[in-house]
């Protein structure tokens, strides 16, 4: 299974943009890039996913490198409620097993 | 709402007793997963299923068994609970390729083994 690498932690100020990086150099052509986040005492929740093109939704944007070996989750204006652990994971239709990494703990300062 | 529910949500049990956690889905998705989460360890895969009666082990399967006799239910059993199995357990389902294989998690089951 392809692995992802993320920084352990990041800090941001409230109302500023946040760029959360993820490296996935062993990504295969059928792997979708997914991002999830987990708030304290809650289950992980879906944020965004993409295959090759950049993606936007109401929660965030996903920028995917041209070679697909890295991606960046962009929170345009961080709020205190965005403080969470963010997980980047590759999901393929051919793979049953899904392993999560340690994720990035995002702290948002008021 | 992804149609996934876990039960029980909270349970306290004694060491050595059997415990079964249930994950129920309403939409006939093929893949279902059981994870546990402990402080400092993130999400660790216990077992997963890719169809009725089709299951496989994850990273931390020792002490756990699973069963999937029908599409909608994925059961996690601790045959003889130990204190090291005190944890939060999350079930997850995976949507199909048309939805980008998106995963949805249940709300979690808090298990305490005393």
pLDDT at A30: 85
**Average pLDDT for B16-21:** 97
pLDDT at A101: 84
Q: Do A43 and B42 touch (CB under 8 A)?
A: no
Residue A1 has pLDDT above 70, yes or no: no
Say yes or no for a CB contact (<8 Å) between B104 and A46. Answer: yes
**Residue recorded with tokens 């997980």:** A87
B64-108 pLDDT, tens digit per residue, is 999 999 999 999 999 999 999 999 999 999 987 777 788 999 999
What does pLDDT average to over chain B?
Answer: 93
Tell me the mean pLDDT in the region A2-10: 90
Asked whether residue B15 carries a pLDDT value surpassing 90, the answer given is: yes
Residues in chain B: 114
Report d(CA B100, CA B112) in Å as an integer. 35
Which pLDDT band holds residue B1 (cuts at 50, 70, 90)? low
Contact partners, residue B4, CB within 8 Å, separation at least 6: B23, B24, B25, B26, B91, B92, B93, B104, B105, B106
Give the whole-angstrom CA distance, residue A5 versus residue B18: 37
- Residue A96 and residue B59: Cβ atoms within 8 Å? no
For chains A and B, what is the number of CB pairs under 8 angstroms?
Answer: 61
**Residues ≥6 apart with Cβ < 8 Å to A30:** A92, A93, A94
Q: What is the chain B residue with the closest CA to A104?
A: B42
Paired with A13 in beta bridges are A109
More confident residue, A29 or B7: B7
Q: Do A93 and B42 touch (CB under 8 A)?
A: no
Residue burial A24-37, b: 16+ Cβ < 10 Å; e: rest? beebeeebbbbbbb
Chain A residues within 8 A of B108 when measuring between CB atoms: 42-43
* Cross-chain CB nearest to A93 (options B43, B101, B108): B101
If you average pLDDT over residues A82-90, what whole number do you get? 95
Mean pLDDT throughout A78-100? 88
What is the per-residue pLDDT for B39?
85
Gap between the terminal Cα atoms of chain B: 34
Has residue B2 got a pLDDT over 90?
A: no
């Amino acid at each position: 299974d392809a692995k992802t690498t993320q920084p352990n932690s990041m800090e941001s100020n409230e109302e500023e943009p946040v760029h959360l990086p993820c490296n996935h150099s062993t990504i295969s052509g059928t792997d979708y890039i997914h991002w999830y986040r987990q708030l304290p005492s809650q289950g992980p929740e879906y944020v965004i996913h993409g295959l090759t093109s950049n993606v936007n939704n109401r929660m965030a944007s996903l920028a995917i490198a041209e070679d697909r070996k890295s991606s960046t989750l962009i929170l345009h204006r961080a709020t205190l409620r965005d403080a969470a652990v963010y997980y980047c994971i590759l999901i393929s239709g051919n793979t049953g097993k899904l392993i999560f990494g340690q994720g990035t703990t995002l702290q948002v300062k008021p | 709402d992804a149609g996934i529910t876990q039960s029980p949500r909270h349970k306290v049990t004694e060491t050595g007793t059997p415990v079964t956690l249930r994950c129920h889905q309403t939409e006939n998705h093929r893949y279902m997963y059981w994870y546990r989460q402990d402080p400092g360890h993130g999400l660790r895969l216990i077992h997963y299923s890719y169809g009725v009666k089709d299951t496989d082990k994850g990273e931390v399967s020792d002490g756990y068994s699973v069963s999937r006799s029908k599409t909608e239910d994925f059961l996690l059993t601790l045959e003889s609970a130990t204190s090291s199995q005190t944890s939060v357990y999350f079930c997850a389902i995976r949507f199909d390729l048309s939805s980008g294989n998106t995963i949805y998690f249940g709300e979690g089951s808090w298990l305490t083994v005393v």
